[in-house]
Amino acid sequence: MSEEKRLMKGNEAIGEAAVRAGCRAYFGYPITPQNELTAYMAKHMLDKKRTFIQAESETAAINMVFGAAATGARSMTSSSSPGISLKQEGISYACGADLPMVIVNIARSGPGLGGISPGQADYFQSTRGGGHGDYFHLVLAPKSVQEAADLTYKAFELADKWRMPVMILADGLIGQMMEGVVLPPAIDPESLPRKPWGVGHQADTHRANNHVSSINLVPVELEALVRARFKRYEEIKKTEVDFEEVNCEKADLILVGYGTSSRVALGALEMAKAQGIELGLFRPISLWPFPEKRIAELAAKGKKFLAVEMSMGQMVEDVRLAANGKGEVHFYGRCGGVIPSEEEVLAEAKRLLGK
Amino acid sequence: MELVNGHPKSLKSVQTKYCPGCGHGVIHRLVCEVIDELGAQERSVIMNPVGCSIWADLYFDFDSVQAPHGRTPAAATGVKRMLPDHLVICYQGDGDLAAIGTAEIIHAANRGEKFTGIFVNNAIYGMTGGQMAPTTLVGQKATTAPYGRDPVDAGMGFPIQVCELLATLSGTKYLARGAVNNAANVRKTKQYIKKAFEAQLRGEGFGLVEILSPCPTNWQMKPGESVEWLEQNMMPFYKLGEIKNTLEEASK
Ligand SMILES: Cc1ncc(C[n+]2csc(CCOP(=O)(O)OP(=O)(O)O)c2C)c(N)n1
Ligand code: SF4
Ligand SMILES: [Mg+2]
């Protein structure tokens, strides 16, 4: 039975999707522009007799998630840019201990305290392993309230499947705006299988001890662990790449953008069409793994790219790496919380096309 | 059942990496004896700290979780909330608990989290080689306090009495300070640990047992001297006994 469409804020839709994904524990700390998400979880997790704690800091919150995840429970935290910086220590440890968890970043503009307006300048931090050490984790970027709900729901599954943190990287606009959303079916957390590696319930099976840890002081052993993880990353690159494209075969110039920027780019594409100009749109949905293969294919066909971002140019580096000199890669961005307009993007595209 | 002789079941019979005269080994044993007495081996989780007892999972024969330095009480919160009928032990050194992890311990205690802190106070950073800890005594030397701890002028602050600090919080139910300097105190410390664990299993929290523990290596003393030093210097400042006991059992 399909659900009715509801009008919801992005932050609330993410919260509801997490509840429905069987999230047993949420830990958060207030920060704009994601406060509705924490408040939503407070109400709905407590109503369902699940765990909600307003932590003393983002550092504490991610480590509470670490503990809950160590027992195998689906668990989550959310924050915005400055708070995500504080979580990086915990994310590095979670990657080192192979713990599934969901982390939502409703990004604002930085650096430092920056502003509370939407930003996309956390791309490097999110996709490069923002803490110390050799690691990556999945990063998914929704463009709408519907997709924010769908990707959050999926994030819990991917986290369990690959035993790693999954980050939802949205921006303040996606978090704050209201759109219609059809919500996924509710999973009862009790119905989820117990994870064989999780701590607790040893008495049930008398199994060997489980240790959730990222430490190993023997260099060759640690190297083997890291290499095994990187093998897993290669598998993820084969199966979890996600993107959307519009008119990429026909157009010579392809706009590349994720999240809010992709909506602006789509607007520019439609304006261009009305003027008889063909533009393409390539929208990465998985930022890690980045859809590098498809970009390489398009580059090999001689396409030009214009990366559109709400930053000084971060994702554009992945486009350049993927194009690998085969296709020209250009950049247009606004930062500081300014959202580029469709007109600005179209003007830049026309300039590049010599029109 | 009280173990009078022999090796606790919950403690693996392997030689530890601890230095001769170190208190950690004795404390591990006390924790395990109590777990055995409570029959809780298979429903216990030890939270390993970042400090000399970082390898606690080599010795404790049950599940373990290793969180970042000082974040142990936050991670223990997550574990205990998901496993409310388990015995969750948050084992921490003084650097871990009272410096980098001050916020985490205070707020876990204030929330009345139902796990037990085992707080090993050796007045020094053991693992990293003898730097000043928040519990280092005034005048005590450390590699980062070469002329002795000078609280104000050198900006080193005063030693922190953790039990007394936590006692002001409504969330704390049981706070005791023991020592492992002699057999009598070892026995008393074990009783404190037992009270705290029993309270946790009854669903009462927050409890913490601080244990004064020698670190002969970084105090640069022989094991025997380190026990004397602990008695003469630490015990007058860090008073032994139950600092706070508002457990329901206590009021009966
Ligand atoms: C974030 C971070 N900072 C510093 C360290 C280095 N470090 C490891 S153990 C330790 C101090 C441990 O002292 P204490 O908690 O008193 O434990 P002890 O070794 O004395 O038992 C430090 C500073 C670390 N591992 N992580
Ligand atoms: S350095 Fe100190 S605390 Fe660490 S094992 Fe040796 S005696 Fe124990
Ligand atoms: Mg110490």
CATH number reported for the structural domain that contains residue A307 in this entry: 3.40.50.920
Q: Are residues A233 and A303 in the same domain?
A: no
Going from the Cα of A281 to the center of ligand 3, the distance in angstroms, rounded, reads 57
Nearest chain B CA: its distance from A62 CA (Å): 8
Going from the Cα of B122 to the center of ligand 3, the distance in angstroms, rounded, reads 5
Pocket lined around ligand 2, Cβ cut-off 6 Å: B 18-19, 22, 24, 52, 122, 126-127, 215-218
pLDDT for position A29: 98
**ipTM for the predicted complex:** 0.97
Q: Are residues A262 and A231 in the same domain?
A: no
- CA gap A92, B78 in Å, rounded: 17
Domain count, chain A: 2
Kindly list the residues from chain A whose CB atom is less than 8 angstroms away from the CB atom of residue B105: none
pLDDT for position B67: 97
Nearest chain A CA: its distance from B48 CA (Å): 9
| Residue of B89, B64, B84, B62 lying closest to B194 (CA atoms) | B89
In a domain, A141, yes or no: yes
Using DSSP's 3-state secondary structure scheme, residue A215 falls into coil
| Residue of B19, B30, B10, B39 lying closest to B176 (CA atoms) | B30
pLDDT for position B1: 54
What domain range includes position A66? Answer: 5-191+227-238
Whether B79 sits inside 8 A of A203 (CB atoms) is no
In a domain, A198, yes or no: no
Going from the Cα of B97 to the center of ligand 3, the distance in angstroms, rounded, reads 9
Whether B67 sits inside 8 A of A59 (CB atoms) is no
Provide the token pair at B156. Answer: 């080193």
201-220 in chain B: CB under 8 A from chain A: none
* Interface check A1 vs B, CB under 8 A: no
Q: Are residues A261 and A278 in the same domain?
A: yes
CATH code for position A151: 3.40.50.970
pLDDT digits (tens, 9 = 90+) for A119-138: 999 999 999 999 999 999 99
Going from the Cα of A221 to the center of ligand 2, the distance in angstroms, rounded, reads 25
Residue in B218, B227, B229 to alter for ligand 2 test, most ligand atoms within 8 A of Cβ:
B218
Best to test chain A binding among B41, B46, B50, B65 (most A CBs inside 10 Å): B65
pLDDT for position A332: 98
CATH 3.40.960.10 fits B24-251, yes or no: no
Of A204, A238, A272, the domain-final residue: A238
pLDDT digits (tens, 9 = 90+) for A277-321: 999 999 999 999 999 999 999 999 999 999 999 999 999 999 999
In a domain, A215, yes or no: no
Going from the Cα of B214 to the center of ligand 2, the distance in angstroms, rounded, reads 8
Bridging pattern class, strands A243-246 and A279-284? antiparallel
In a domain, A217, yes or no: no
Provide the token pair at A352. Answer: 């590049």
CA B95 to ligand 1: nearest atom: 15
| For residue A150, pLDDT beyond 90 | yes
In a domain, A23, yes or no: yes
- CA gap A212, A18 in Å, rounded: 24
Q: Are residues A171 and A286 in the same domain?
A: no
In a domain, A201, yes or no: no
* Interface check A88 vs B, CB under 8 A: no
What letter does residue B79 receive in the DSSP assignment?
H
Torsion sign, CA atoms A319, A324, A326, A329: positive
**What is the pLDDT tens value at each position of chain B, 252 positions in all?**
555 678 999 999 999 999 999 999 999 999 999 999 999 999 999 999 999 999 888 999 999 999 999 999 999 999 999 999 999 999 999 999 999 999 999 999 999 999 999 999 999 999 999 999 999 999 999 999 999 999 999 999 999 999 999 999 999 999 999 999 999 999 999 999 999 999 999 999 999 999 999 999 999 999 999 999 999 999 999 999 999 999 987 655
- Other CB atoms within a 10 A radius of the CB of residue A91 amount to 27
pLDDT for position A2: 63
Whether A63 sits inside 8 A of B104 (CB atoms) is yes
Q: Are residues A183 and A258 in the same domain?
A: no
Section A178-207 average pLDDT: 97
Going from the Cα of B51 to the center of ligand 1, the distance in angstroms, rounded, reads 5
**Which residue among A59, A75, A203 sits closest to B42, beta carbon to beta carbon?**
A203
Q: Are residues A270 and A130 in the same domain?
A: no
Q: Which residues pair with A284 in a beta bridge?
A: A243
In a domain, A107, yes or no: yes
Q: Are residues A269 and A336 in the same domain?
A: yes
Distance from the first to the final alpha carbon of chain B: 23
pLDDT for position A170: 98
pLDDT digits (tens, 9 = 90+) for A204-251: 999 999 999 999 999 999 999 999 999 999 999 999 999 999 999 999
Nearest-10 Cα torsion for B130, B133, B135, B138: 80
pLDDT digits (tens, 9 = 90+) for B34-85: 999 999 999 999 999 999 999 888 999 999 999 999 999 999 999 999 999 9
Tokens 């037990």: give the residue. Answer: B116
Tokens 């601890």: give the residue. Answer: B18
- CA gap A140, B24 in Å, rounded: 45
| B10 to B40, B159, B202, B220: CA distances (angstroms) | 9, 34, 21, 32
What letter does residue B55 receive in the DSSP assignment?
G
Q: Is B134 in the pocket of ligand 1 (CB under 6 A)?
A: no
Q: Are residues A282 and A233 in the same domain?
A: no
- CA gap B134, A354 in Å, rounded: 67
Q: Is B25 in the pocket of ligand 1 (CB under 6 A)?
A: no
16-75 in chain B: CB under 8 A from chain A: 42-43, 45, 47-48, 54, 57, 61-68, 71, 74-75
Q: Are residues A249 and A163 in the same domain?
A: no
| B23 to B73, B93, B105, B181, B212: CA distances (angstroms) | 22, 11, 22, 8, 8
For residue B163, the Cα-to-chain-centroid distance in whole angstroms is: 11
| For residue A1, pLDDT beyond 60 | no
In a domain, A40, yes or no: yes
pLDDT for position A4: 86
**Which residue among A60, A68, A89 sits closest to B82, beta carbon to beta carbon?**
A68
Q: Are residues A184 and A249 in the same domain?
A: no
Q: Which residues pair with A179 in a beta bridge?
A: A8
How many CB contacts within 8 angstroms connect chain A with chain B?
Answer: 126
Using DSSP's 3-state secondary structure scheme, residue B183 falls into helix
Q: Are B184 and B25 in contact (CB under 8 A)?
A: no
Q: Are residues A277 and A339 in the same domain?
A: yes
Q: Are residues A160 and A256 in the same domain?
A: no
Peptide linkage before B223 cis (omega within 30 of 0)? no
pLDDT digits (tens, 9 = 90+) for A44-102: 999 999 999 999 999 999 999 999 999 999 999 999 999 999 999 999 999 999 999 99
pLDDT for position B4: 64
Q: Where are the domains of chain B?
A: 24-251
